[in-house]
Structure 1
Amino acid sequence: MNPVASDEDDEEEDTPRTAQQVAQRLLALLAVVWRANEKEDIAQKGLAWARAHGIDAFFSEAEKAFMVDERPQQQAIIDLGWRAEAMLPMVWGLRGIAALPPSNQRADPWKIPLVQQAMKSPAEFVANARLIAADDVSEEECRLVDEHWYVHDARLRRQPVPSHLDAGIVHERRYALSWMVGRGKNWDQVPTDT
């Protein structure tokens, strides 16, 4: 034991997720968001797609529970439906869009060619995944941490959230970016402190 070791020596350095990990996580989110559709026939198609392509191997523990629940609670459907916003930073990081849209503009990931390609051939999508530079992901994560702070600060002060930000969008995109840069042990445990 080093008598002069500081607490900082005990902290593990974040290891950015690999392109394959990000691609697998994106596939898991696709399935979860698809399953979160309120129209049961559409939700069932998402479940069938996930089973047919082995996407269940990429689910977090919370996602596994949601996916096998025959009658998920309405709040779970809403919460996991919001994960569509967490998909966007991954699409961006995998070079599917040039930039993230403003943080008050909701995503429609189903229209993005990279997402359509992932749905069509998941195994090929994972095998060919390429990430942008880790520094670019880290820089974007810092920007979203700042935006998350503005949202949190406004709520603490009982003020309106700045109009250029949507609290739900900011939270989901920040969550995804923090996971991408390596924060948290797994998808269900990503810290989002402000």
Structure 2
Amino acid sequence: MMRRSFLGFLTSLAFIGSADAEGEAEARKAASTAQLKKEGVPFMDHLPTIETAAESRRRTTDEVVKRAIALVIVAVKGETNDRNLVSNLISQFGAEGFFTPKEQAFVGNPVATGQDRANFSWRYEGAFVMLWALQFFEDLGRPDKPCDVSRMVSILRDLDTEGLLKRANLRPQSDLLDAADLIYRYNWAVVDARVNGKAAPAGLEQDVVVERHYALNWLIGYMGQEWDDISTDT
């Protein structure tokens, strides 16, 4: 039998790699769809697959820890509007450089609007996703109610930034992608219900779904977007 050319060999490897990636993405979609069926959440069969491990971005533990801290602090500002408390938290965690431009503007604004405060107070959900990704929480749970803020704040209160970095263990990329795929499909169900003038299905909490989708898209590097520009397409 004639041996294949080197070019043909490389072509076959590329095909195998492409097939493997497609299989990974489809398997992830199938697992998410099975979960939605189990919960009675509507889904769309032809909603696309998301990135594979090879296509996604792997955040560093340092990035994720700092993002968690920043999100808790802006959420505290949104909830309390207590500038002294926020200043103390920034000092405690050495968080001066952790904020995005939009977050920095909000933190430094003494007359933030009620709507801005409400929007940023939901960032607790993003912080919860980060701490789950770092394995401070075992399970994300269904997005049908707000996260346990008191438990999350307790974790941060007991550990400074250095302590969080020492304890953190960023989950495998496959776990982050599994969660991102599932929340993407939860969000489709929530958006579809809203467009059609219906309540969110199966007890899902719309704001929780959106915030977690936002955070997970950042974690996997969706479309190369950074935090202030993350989109939650469905």
Instruction: Name the TM-score, length of structure 1 as normaliser.
Output: 0.85
Q: Report matched runs for 1:148-167 at 5 Å.
A: 148-167=187-206
The answer to whether residue 59 in structure 2 is matched with residue 17 in structure 1 is yes
Percent identity between the two aligned chains: 27
One-letter amino acid of the structure 2 residue matched with residue 118 of structure 1: L
Partner of 1:9: none
Partner of 1:103: 143
**Structure with greater Cα Rg:** 2
Partner of 2:226: 186
The answer to whether residue 163 in structure 2 is matched with residue 124 in structure 1 is yes
CA contact (8 A) 2:136 2:168 kept: no
**RMSD (Å) for aligned C-alpha atoms:** 1.9
Partner of 1:144: 183
Q: CA deviation at 1:39?
A: 5.7
Deviations 1:114-164 (A, max 9, x none): x53433311231354211111011000000000000011111222221132
One-letter amino acid of the structure 2 residue matched with residue 71 of structure 1: V
One-letter amino acid of the structure 2 residue matched with residue 145 of structure 1: Y
Partner of 1:90: 130
One-letter amino acid of the structure 1 residue matched with residue 79 of structure 2: N
The answer to whether residue 67 in structure 2 is matched with residue 46 in structure 1 is no
Return 5+ residue gaps in structure 2 as ranges.
Answer: 1-54
Partner of 1:26: 68
3-state SS in 2 of match to 1:124: helix
Deviations 1:155-185 (A, max 9, x none): 1222221132111000001111111111243
Equivalents in 1 of 2:233, 2:65: separation in Å?
25
User: What is the total number of aligned residue pairs between the two structures?
Assistant: 179
CA contact (8 A) 1:20 1:129 kept: no
Equivalents in 2 of 1:81, 1:62: separation in Å?
14
3-state SS in 2 of match to 1:163: helix
Equivalents in 1 of 2:70, 2:80: separation in Å?
18
CA contact (8 A) 2:92 2:160 kept: no
Partner of 1:74: 114
CA contact (8 A) 1:28 1:56 kept: no
Q: CA deviation at 1:64?
A: 0.2
Q: CA deviation at 1:33?
A: 1.1
The answer to whether residue 216 in structure 2 is matched with residue 174 in structure 1 is no
One-letter amino acid of the structure 1 residue matched with residue 90 of structure 2: A
Equivalents in 1 of 2:81, 2:109: separation in Å?
15
Return 5+ residue gaps in structure 1 as ranges.
Answer: 1-12
Equivalents in 2 of 1:126, 1:63: separation in Å?
22
Equivalents in 2 of 1:118, 1:25: separation in Å?
13
3-state SS in 2 of match to 1:154: helix
Deviations 1:35-65 (A, max 9, x none): 112363xx52122221343212010111000
One-letter amino acid of the structure 2 residue matched with residue 17 of structure 1: R
Partner of 2:44: none
